[in-house]
Structure 1
């Protein structure tokens, strides 16, 4: 009996030790799992957004989330969020061509622009190389406007197929890497100039000694045209206006909007919204804080009354803004980069007074957005590797 009692005790001890070990291992595994991938707030079970996905059986798409009941008036019942295409490295700068009924966007690291045809969903390369283009839009004459990282300039593609350089310097100095560009009815173009193209992945670092290559460790000539070789960052980050006569004016300084990214006008063109994001390569200035800044646009096209429009906090999560667009009612739609806060990337929507209306949740970081479709009631989202869309209950303020 004694031996049996000792044997039983050993077994009990071994079982207890095994259970403790298993619990410790499970806890360690869970800790490691949490460190690698934060808990998701995406729809459970995780949905498939692709063209062959199961039908969306909900009256409202489950990833359309209201913070204010007014949001439902902007969204469309029975309209699912769809993934139209995937295959980019970093999709950016979507723009809608109304006459051609196609969407064009940039795949910055792959140095190309792509086009999606509405008639059959066909996707093809539109321009390659694209000079690591970022933001795109169309002006009031239907001409495509593009901000190029690699060549540090903004260009316009004419209706006859030729290309016009709108601006590549200010006061004799090269731009950093123009990011986004929009048209004004008076014929001027407004664009932002942060430093994000001064890196290997999305353009080219500075020549040796420049702010993004201070020790000359990078060979910035590798894989690049020879004229890129001596380019270095020469200016602070800022926002600019190119008038119809070609004159370039700095409309907002780095102090006004550090590291400016996406920008758009209100429907009446009396307010300019600028997304101020985080620090980029070679930055020595303040860097952005992940906020949207608003300015009054004066009759002489100068800016005044700078103010923080939104801190882009949702549930105390920073939904870092990148691209911004307005609808016809003046609501501001902003792409959201929430980093590792899974479930908060996508699009946030704000009233003209900065109240959060709601958000659109997608499983990838969203870089930029635009309104399009024949009725301009379809929101297109360029998100990391993919293009998403959803029909909405309003129209985007034109042009696209």
Structure 2
């Protein structure tokens, strides 16, 4: 660990004291008393896409190094799970335990079975290459929402997108063709997360630095678009109270009304993504640049 990270983590607890002195004790209650941001490892190049399995372990990506890494909640260790990994970015587990991956190498959506057998779920839309699937959320019906921005990758031969827009798609369960559910001039649709009741979806336009909230219809379509927060997000998650966690400059937490209730600073230039992990889903797992961090919380995730 470099000196700047050591200094930051040493001072991190002091920021909580300062916030309490300003009458924000209620805000601080989402973090466990005395908890400190803990560096798990800084041996990566760029971490992204954390997803928790049913045991509480978290899988995340190190895209430049083309690998998926597993964090073991029981002993706080990290090990390679798959390499190569299709330049995977965002990840999400389905209810059968397969790992969905936004495989950016060939602009595909993958399903990785528990035996690591890979199935290409989607490789095009209307016979044109996708821009580059980025982030994923699976609803109660096993339908898959995914964002499709365009971030030029060094491993691509093409320099311009084949799709005419940067959209959000929905793949209904037991179907092979996705349909467009957001096609309204997003600059860079990126982070995406839904509520466990399947009624609400949050989507970030990271290019426009906005995050929107939608109602989810019974067929998976999105309605009643509203501005949720005047900031974008690379990745996001929700807790059991309905708070929404956005990333970029550390982790910024909003309540269901879109009111900011907390900012969790992270000692990196960019915080890419966040999820809950651990057997009790009370460990906030943060991917940021070359590092991954954990923070014990008083709230918990709602994945399972």
1:184 maps to 139
**Secondary structure at 1:170 match in 2:** coil
1:199 maps to 153
Report the Cα distance in structure 2 between the residues aligned to 1:67 and 1:98, rounded to whole angstroms.
Answer: 38
Are 1:245 and 2:183 an aligned pair?
no
1:357 maps to 261
1:376-396 CA distances to partner (integer Å, 9 max, x unpaired)?
Answer: 011000000100110111111
Kindly tell me: are residues 253 and 193 of structure 1, through their superposed partners in 2, closer, same or farther at Cα, counting changes over 3 Å?
same
Are 1:273 and 2:227 an aligned pair?
no
Are 1:70 and 2:26 an aligned pair?
yes
1:23-61 CA distances to partner (integer Å, 9 max, x unpaired)?
Answer: xxxxxxxxxxxxxxxxxxxxxx966179xx879876957
Kindly tell me: are residues 119 and 234 of structure 1, through their superposed partners in 2, closer, same or farther at Cα, counting changes over 3 Å?
same
Report the Cα distance in structure 2 between the residues aligned to 1:261 and 1:64, rounded to whole angstroms.
Answer: 33
TM normalised by structure 2 equals: 0.90
1:378 maps to 283
Kindly tell me: are residues 239 and 396 of structure 1, through their superposed partners in 2, closer, same or farther at Cα, counting changes over 3 Å?
same
Give the strand-richer structure, 1 or 2.
2
Are 1:136 and 2:110 an aligned pair?
no
Conservation of the 8 A alpha-carbon contact between 2:16 and 2:28:
no
Are 1:233 and 2:162 an aligned pair?
yes
* Larger deviation, residues 349-358 vs 161-170: 161-170
Are 1:388 and 2:300 an aligned pair?
no
Conservation of the 8 A alpha-carbon contact between 1:310 and 1:354:
yes
Conservation of the 8 A alpha-carbon contact between 1:136 and 1:145:
yes
**Secondary structure at 1:330 match in 2:** coil
- Offset of 1:302 from its aligned partner? 0.8
1:318-364 CA distances to partner (integer Å, 9 max, x unpaired)?
Answer: xx42101111121101112xxxxxxxx21000011100001100111
Are 1:326 and 2:255 an aligned pair?
no
* Larger deviation, residues 246-255 vs 348-357: 246-255
Are 1:301 and 2:220 an aligned pair?
yes
TM normalised by structure 1 equals: 0.69
1:259-316 CA distances to partner (integer Å, 9 max, x unpaired)?
Answer: 11010002322111011112xxxxxxxxxx111111111122111111211003xxxx
**Secondary structure at 1:322 match in 2:** coil
Larger radius of gyration: 1
Kindly tell me: are residues 62 and 303 of structure 1, through their superposed partners in 2, closer, same or farther at Cα, counting changes over 3 Å?
same
RMSD: 2.6
Conservation of the 8 A alpha-carbon contact between 1:59 and 1:78:
no
Report the Cα distance in structure 1 between the residues aligned to 2:82 and 2:20, rounded to whole angstroms.
Answer: 33
Which structure 2 residue ranges, 5 or more long, are not aligned?
Answer: none
- Offset of 1:91 from its aligned partner? 0.7
1:32 maps to none
Report the Cα distance in structure 1 between the residues aligned to 2:14 and 2:277, rounded to whole angstroms.
Answer: 24
Report the Cα distance in structure 2 between the residues aligned to 1:293 and 1:66, rounded to whole angstroms.
Answer: 30
Conservation of the 8 A alpha-carbon contact between 2:136 and 2:144:
yes
